[in-house]
Amino acid sequence: MARLIQLTILFIQFYYYYYITTTAHGLSSNGTTFLLDSSRSAMILPLFLSPPNPCTKFSSTRRLLQRSNGNNALPNARMRLHDDLLINGYYTTRLWIGTPPQRFALIVDTGSSVTYVPCSSCEQCGRHQDPKFQPDLSSTYQSVKCNIDCNCDDEKQQCVYERQYAEMSTSSGVLGEDIISFGNLSALAPQRAVFGCENMETGDLYSQHADGIMGLGRGDLSIVDHLVDKGVINDSFSLCYGGMGIGGGAMVLGGISPPSNMVFSQSDPVRRCFRDGNSPYYNIDLKEIHVAGKPLPLNPTVFDGKHGTILDSGTTYAYLPEAAFVSFKDAIMKELHSLKPIRGPDPNYNDICFSGAGSDISQLSSSFPAVEMVFGNGQKLLLSPENYLFRHSKVHGAYCLGIFQNGKDPTTLLGGIVVRNTLVLYDRENSKIGFWKTNCSELWERLHVDGAPPPAPSSSNGNNSNTEMPPSMAPGDQKHYGLPDEKKIGKITFEMMLNVNYSDLKLHISELAESIAQELGINISQVYILNSMEKGNASYIEWAVVPSGSADCISNVTALSIIARVAEYHMHLPDTFGSYHLINWEIKASAKRTWWQQHFLLVVLASAVTFIFGLLAFGIWFIWRHRQRALNPYKPVDAVVTEQELQPL
Is 0.75 topped by the overall pTM? Answer: no
Give the residue-averaged pLDDT of 431-446: 86
- Residue 641's pLDDT band (boundaries 50, 70, 90)? low
Residue 560: its pLDDT value, please?
79
Q: What is the pLDDT of residue 645?
A: 56
How large is the average pLDDT for residues 523-545? Answer: 86
Rg (C-alpha) for the chain, rounded Å, is 34
Pairing outcome for strands 412-414 and 309-311 = parallel
Share of the chain above pLDDT 70, in %: 75
Of the ranges 343-352, 594-603, 628-637, which one carries the lowest mean pLDDT score? 628-637
Average confidence (pLDDT) over 114-127: 93
The 10s digit of each residue's pLDDT in 453-489 is 443 333 333 333 334 444 443 333 333 455 555 457 8
**Active-site residue numbers?**
109, 312
Q: Ranked by mean pLDDT, which of 49-63, 221-235, 521-535, 563-577 comes out on top?
A: 221-235
Q: Is residue 575 very low, low, confident or very high in pLDDT (cuts 50, 70, 90)?
A: low
- Asked if the model's pLDDT at residue 61 lies above 70, the reply is no
pLDDT at 478: 35
Q: What pLDDT score does 341 carry?
A: 92
CA-CA-CA-CA dihedral for 119, 131, 465, 222, to nearest 10: 10
Locate all alpha helices (DSSP H) within 203-344, ordered by sequence.
204-207, 223-229, 269-276, 322-335
Q: How far apart are CA 395 and CA 415, in angstroms?
A: 24
Task: Give dist(CA 134, CA 237) in Å, integer.
Answer: 29
Name the residue with higher pLDDT: 432 or 507: 432
Average pLDDT over every residue of 58-62: 37
Alpha-helix runs per DSSP H in 450-555: 502-506, 509-520
Residue 49's pLDDT is 30
d(CA 313, CA 325): 20
Report yes or no: 296 and 374 within 8 Å, Cβ to Cβ. no
Q: What angle do CA 207, 416, 283 make, to 5 degrees?
A: 115
Q: What type of residue is 557?
A: V
CA distance 412 to 393: 26
Phi/psi at 254 (5° precision): 115, 180
Q: Note the pLDDT of residue 592.
A: 61
| First-to-final CA distance of the chain | 167
Shortest CA distance to 497 belongs to which of 588, 569, 586? 569
How far, in Å, CA of 269 to CA of 222, rounded?
Answer: 15
What is the CA 267 to chain-centroid distance, rounded?
26
Count CB-CB contacts under 10 A for residue 610. 10
In the Cβ-directed half-sphere of 355, how many Cα atoms lie within 13 Å? 11
Model pLDDT, residue 149: 86
Predicted local distance difference test score (pLDDT) of residue 596: 66
Given this model, what pLDDT does residue 635 score?
59
**Is the separation of the CB atoms in 116 and 208 below 8 Å?**
no
509-520 and 556-567 are packed helices; what angle lies between their axes, rounded to 10 degrees? 120
- The answer to whether residue 384 scores a pLDDT higher than 90 is yes
In Å, how far from its chain's centre is CA 353?
25
Return d(Cα 242, Cα 419) in angstroms, integer: 9
Flag the least confident range among 50-54, 251-255, 317-321, 346-350. Answer: 50-54
Other Cβ atoms within 10 Å of 238 Cβ, number: 23
- Give dist(CA 201, CA 212) in Å, integer: 10
For residue 101, pLDDT over 50 is answered with yes
pLDDT at residue 320, rounded to an integer: 96
Q: Give CA–CA dist 11/408, Å, rounded.
A: 40
* Cα–Cα nearest to 276, from 302, 318, 308: 308
Is pLDDT of 632 > 70? no
Contact 81, 242 (CB under 8 A): yes
Average pLDDT rounded to a whole number, residues 622-627? 81
The mean per-residue pLDDT over the stretch 528-547 comes to 86
The band of 634, judged by pLDDT with boundaries at 50, 70 and 90, is low
pLDDT at 68 over 50: no
CB 556 within 8 A of CB 487: yes
pLDDT at residue 211 greater than cutoff 80: yes
In tens, the pLDDT along 154-187 reads: 889 999 999 988 778 899 999 999 999 998 888 8
Return the pLDDT at 373.
97
Asked whether the predicted pLDDT for residue 308 surpasses 60, the reply is yes
Q: Look at residue 552 in the predicted model and tell me its pLDDT.
A: 77
The residues that bridge with 118 in the sheet, in sequence order, are 198
pLDDT at 282 exceeding the cut of 50: yes
The predicted pLDDT at position 595 comes to: 65
Q: What is the mean pLDDT of the chain?
A: 78
Neighbours of 476 (CB within 10 A): 8
The answer to whether residue 251 scores a pLDDT higher than 80 is: yes
pLDDT at 301 over 70: yes
Identify the pLDDT of residue 108. 93
* Rounded Cα distance, 143 and 154, in Å: 15
Question: Measuring CA to CA, how many Å separate 484 from each of 526, 550, 593?
Answer: 20, 21, 16
pLDDT of residue 216: 93
Q: Compute the 3-state secondary structure of the chain and give helix, strand, coil in percent, each to the nearest 5.
A: 25, 25, 45
Cα-based distances in Å from 568 to 458, 467, 487: 15, 7, 22
Average pLDDT over residues 202-208: 91
Mean pLDDT within 205-229: 92
Q: Residue 529 pLDDT more than 80?
A: yes
**What pLDDT sits at residue 379?**
96
Residue 513 one-letter amino acid: A
CA-CA distance, 64 to 179, in Å (whole number)? 26
C-alpha 268 chain-centroid distance: 28
Residue whose C-alpha is closest to residue 563's, from 540, 577, 584: 584
The stretch 387-415 carries a mean pLDDT of 92
Instruction: Please choose, from the candidates 507, 493, 488, the residue with its C-alpha nearest in 3D space to the C-alpha of residue 576.
Output: 507
Region 69-79: what's the mean pLDDT? 73
- pLDDT number for residue 219: 86
Q: Indicate the DSSP class of residue 158.
A: B
pLDDT average, residue stretch 605-613: 87
272: pLDDT strictly greater than 80 = no
Q: What distance in Å separates the CA atoms of residue 435 and residue 617, rounded to the nearest whole number?
A: 76
What's the confidence (pLDDT) of residue 638?
61
For the chain, give the longest Cα–Cα distance: 168
